[in-house]
Structures are given as structure tokens and as C-alpha cells.
Amino acid sequence: MANVIIKVENLIVDFENVTACKNLSFQVEAGEIFGLVGPNGAGKTTTLRVLATLQKPTSGSVKIKNFDLESHAKQIRKIIGFMPDFSPVYEELRVWEFLELYAGAYGIGKTERKNRIDTELQRVNLTEKKDTFIGELSRGMKQRLILAKTLLPQPEILLLDEPASGLDPVARKELSDILKDLTTKKTTIIISSHILTELSGLCTSIGIMEKGEMIRWGRIEELSDIPSGMICVEIKTLNPVRNLKEVLMLFDGFKNLVQIQDNSFEIILEGNESIIPNLIKFLAEKNIPVSEIKQKREDIQSIFFKTGAKDVS
């Protein structure tokens, strides 16, 4: 891996009656959005709390930016922002008062505070609610406020525990856009969820947890069955086509054909989606009776279900 920023090796966290993390090992590269997925009780929160230096491991090693968690927790705390699954908010404070309070606690100087607060309010789209009492905000707005608070000290690594729970689809999309924008500015993000669809299209890598174990992890394209530099196009035809492979051999970029059913196929092509219009034209010219065509994308859901993991909504 090119630029590993988080390295967890053989992490074990024992509680009195349960082992929440059973020998976890995984790595996260700088700039990734790493989705930690798994059912209730899988150990996601415990893992995030360890990374946030809030939960002491029973054994194992955790390195964040070459700082060892055991000996350099203080340095790690300076580069990490943690948004817990349940964050307290002070309902009787106004939005800006809440941020002002935390900016002070984070040690942000008085002159810089206003700028920083304005920037984060703008980022989470709450500028207009600056003077509103927190108690009057919707749930989605409260989540965005907590995110703004977490971002105030400009953490290099952001740990978000189920940040989208309870958000409507619009608020979820907004959160997704904010997170994608942050990674373009070099923030590394770990985000947990037990709802797969929440993370689809957002994460660049994932770790699948079940009963305290990390059963699979890595970059989405590495976990995918589609080789890198290629795309897979699914087509259906009105009736079975026996010589489709021979026909496609003449198409520039054709790599392979997998027949799924009599009249449904997966075509592997070299290149990216810009080749699809050429394929459509080619198939029409060859009188192949195509009734459906679409690009097959490997997403978190298909990877998740291929691992045999269960129980996630």
C-alpha cells in the first residue's frame, strides 16, 4: 500500500463478558474514505473508539501516521476528529455559541475563531441557522452541527460513527458530498454504518466486520471481480444469441464474454464507460437484438454479500 496512515495489527479488545475486537488487522491509506461495515455488535464503535484513543486495547498495535497509540496518544489526539454515534448537544445554546465554546476548548485563538466557525458553518450549510437555538434544529441539522464542531480543529483524520443514522435521503446526500469534498482536501475518513446503502458510492475502501472479526478489507477495486482498467457491461437480448462471442471478437477493446443465462451476458471491455456508446452502435450494426444494456459496477453491497457476511440492512 502506497501511503498508509492507519495501521492496526492484531488488535484485541476484551470486555468483561465479550471480546469486541478479535485480532483485527487492517490498514487505511491517506485520503481514503474507509467504510467500516457490519451488523449491530460487530465491534465498529469499539474499533473507532480505540483509534480515537478513548478505548484502551487489551493487546495489539495501532499506528497512526507513525505514532504509536500506546506511547503517543497525545500526538494522535491532535490529528484526529471523532464524531461519536451519540453526541451531546446543548439545546439551550445558539449554533454559534456552541461552536464558539468548542473552538475555545480546542485552543483556537480568538482572532482565528470567527473565521474558522464561519468556514465550517458554510461547509455544513448552516450559516443561516447561526443564531438559532440548537433545540430548534432538525435532527439532520444537529448532525451537521456536530460535524462542524468536529471539523473545527481541522483534523487530518476523521472518525465518524454512524453519522448518517436517522438522516433523510437529502441530508444523507449532503453529508456524502461534504465528506467527498473533505477528502479532496486530503482528509482521511473512516465512517461506520450497519446500513450498506448509506456507504455505497461514498467509500473508496471498506472493512467488513462480523462478531469482532475483520473478515475482509481493502480498496473497492481490489475487492472487485472486475480487473482494473476494464469495465463490465451487462446485456440482455430478446432471444438467445449463440455466436455473440465471435461477433464481439471484432469489437475493439473486447476482452471476454460470460454467459449468465440463454439471453443474458456480461462483457468485459478494456477502457472506461466512454467505450459503451461504441459498443451499442456496434451491436446494432451486427443486428444483435439487445433489449437491455448497462454497466455493472462492483459496489459495497455486492462485495459484502460475496464475503458471506450477514445481517446488515
Ligand X SMILES: Nc1ncnc2c1ncn2[C@@H]1O[C@H](COP(=O)(O)OP(=O)(O)OP(=O)(O)O)[C@@H](O)[C@H]1O
3-class SS of residue 254? strand
Query: In angstroms, what is the minimal distance from the CB of 156 to ligand X?
Result: 23
What is d(CA 53, CA 256) in angstroms, rounded to the nearest whole number?
49
Query: In angstroms, what is the minimal distance from the CB of 192 to Mg ion?
Result: 6
What is d(CA 286, CA 300) in angstroms, rounded to the nearest whole number?
35
- The phi and psi torsions of 78 (rounded to 5 degrees) equal -70, -25
Q: Is 15 a binder of ligand X (CB under 6 A)?
A: yes
Paired with 267 in beta bridges are 233, 257
Residue 143 or 237: the one with the smaller Cβ distance to ligand X is: 143
Query: In angstroms, what is the minimal distance from the CB of 16 to ligand X?
Result: 6
Instruction: Give the footprint of ligand X on residues 165-194 (CB under 6 A).
Output: 194
5 C-beta neighbours (distance < 10 Å), count: 20
Q: Is 43 a binder of ligand X (CB under 6 A)?
A: yes
What is d(CA 35, CA 301) in angstroms, rounded to the nearest whole number?
12
How many residues interact with ligand X (rule CB under 6 A)?
12
Site string for Mg ion, 16-45 (x = CB under 5 A): ----------------------------xx
How many residues interact with Mg ion (rule CB under 5 A)?
2
Instruction: Give the footprint of ligand X on residues 115-134 (CB under 6 A).
Output: none
Query: In angstroms, what is the minimal distance from the CB of 206 to Mg ion?
Result: 16
Q: Is 47 a binder of Mg ion (CB under 5 A)?
A: no
Residue 44 or 172: the one with the smaller Cβ distance to Mg ion is: 44
Beta strand 290-296 with 230-237 is antiparallel
Q: Which residue blocks in 224-306 are alpha helix, DSSP H?
A: 244-248, 276-285, 300-306
Q: Is 199 a binder of ligand X (CB under 6 A)?
A: no
Query: In angstroms, what is the minimal distance from the CB of 291 to ligand X?
Result: 41
Stretch binding ligand X (CB under 6 A), from 13-21, 75-83, 181-189, 257-265: 13-21
What is d(CA 32, CA 172) in angstroms, rounded to the nearest whole number?
19
What is d(CA 211, CA 202) in angstroms, rounded to the nearest whole number?
24
Q: Is 46 a binder of ligand X (CB under 6 A)?
A: yes
**CA geometry: angle 263, 268, 270, nearest 5 deg:** 150
Residue-wise DSSP of 190-222: EEEES-HHHHTTT-SEEEEEETTEEEEEEEHHH
Query: In angstroms, what is the minimal distance from the CB of 312 to ligand X?
Result: 9
Query: In angstroms, what is the minimal distance from the CB of 45 to Mg ion?
Result: 3
Q: Is 217 a binder of ligand X (CB under 6 A)?
A: no
Q: Which does 194 bind (CB under 5 to 8 A by kind): Mg ion, ligand X, none?
A: ligand X
Residue 3 or 40: the one with the smaller Cβ distance to ligand X is: 40
Instruction: Give the footprint of ligand X on residues 68-97 (CB under 6 A).
Output: none
* Cell numbers given for 270: 478494456
Residue 172 or 194: the one with the smaller Cβ distance to ligand X is: 194
Q: Is 285 exposed, middle or buried (0-12, 13-18, 19+ CB in 10 A)?
A: exposed
Give contact residues for ligand X (rule: CB under 6 A). 15, 18, 20, 38, 40-46, 194
